[in-house]
Amino acid sequence: MRYVEHVADLVGNTPLVRLGAVAEGIVPPVLAKVEYFNPGGSVKDRIALRMVEAAEASGELRPGGTIVEPTSGNTGVGLAMVAQRKGYHCVFVCPDKVGEDKRNVLKAYGAEVVVCPTAVDPDHPDSYYRTSDRLVEEMDGAWKPNQYANRANPESHYLGTGPEIWEQTDGKITHFVAGIGTGGTISGIGRYLKEVSGGSVRIVGADPEGSVYSGGSGRPYLVEGVGEDFWPTTYDKDVCDEIVAVSDADSFAMTRRLAREEALLVGGSCGMATVAALRVAEQAPADSVIVVLLPDGGRGYLGKVFNDRWMSSYGFLPPAEGFTIGDVLR
Using the minimum distance from each CB to ligand PMP, give the nearer residue, 74 or 150: 74
d(CA 47, CA 32): 20
Q: In terms of DSSP bridges, do strands 66-70 and 142-143 run parallel, antiparallel, or are they unpaired?
A: parallel
User: Containing H/E element for 327?
Assistant: helix 325-329
- Shortest distance (Å) from residue 25 CB to ligand PMP: 27
d(CA 102, CA 70): 13
CB contact at 8 A, 186 and 160: no
Using the minimum distance from each CB to ligand PMP, give the nearer residue, 211 or 269: 269
Using the minimum distance from each CB to ligand PMP, give the nearer residue, 186 or 290: 186
Instruction: Please name the residue ranges forming H helices in 25-174.
Output: 44-58, 74-86, 100-108, 128-138, 152-156, 162-168
CB contact at 8 A, 268 and 316: no
> Which candidate, 227, 75, 43, 224, places its Cα nearest to that of 146?
75
- Shortest distance (Å) from residue 315 CB to ligand PMP: 23
d(CA 33, CA 13): 10
- Shortest distance (Å) from residue 248 CB to ligand PMP: 14
The residues that bridge with 297 in the sheet, in sequence order, are 266
**Exposure pattern of 29-44 as b/e (b: 16+ CB <10 Å)?**
bbbbbbbbbbbbbbbb
- Shortest distance (Å) from residue 250 CB to ligand PMP: 16
- Shortest distance (Å) from residue 251 CB to ligand PMP: 11
Using the minimum distance from each CB to ligand PMP, give the nearer residue, 38 or 269: 269
- DSSP code for 94: E
> Which candidate, 153, 157, 148, 156, places its Cα nearest to that of 291?
157
Using the minimum distance from each CB to ligand PMP, give the nearer residue, 28 or 164: 164
- Is 97 a known active-site residue? no
CB contact at 8 A, 105 and 73: no
- Shortest distance (Å) from residue 188 CB to ligand PMP: 8
* Interface residue list for ligand PMP (CB under 6 A): 73-74, 179-185, 224-226, 267, 269, 295-296
Among 33, 44, 144, 304, the one annotated catalytic: 44
d(CA 71, CA 131): 12
Task: Tell me the one-letter amino acid at 221.
Answer: Y
- Shortest distance (Å) from residue 265 CB to ligand PMP: 13
Q: Which residue is nearest to ligand PMP (CB)?
A: 225
Using the minimum distance from each CB to ligand PMP, give the nearer residue, 180 or 244: 180
**Exposure pattern of 113-127 as b/e (b: 16+ CB <10 Å)?**
bebbeeeeeeeeeeb
d(CA 97, CA 171): 44
Using the minimum distance from each CB to ligand PMP, give the nearer residue, 71 or 288: 71
**Which residues are identified as catalytic?**
44
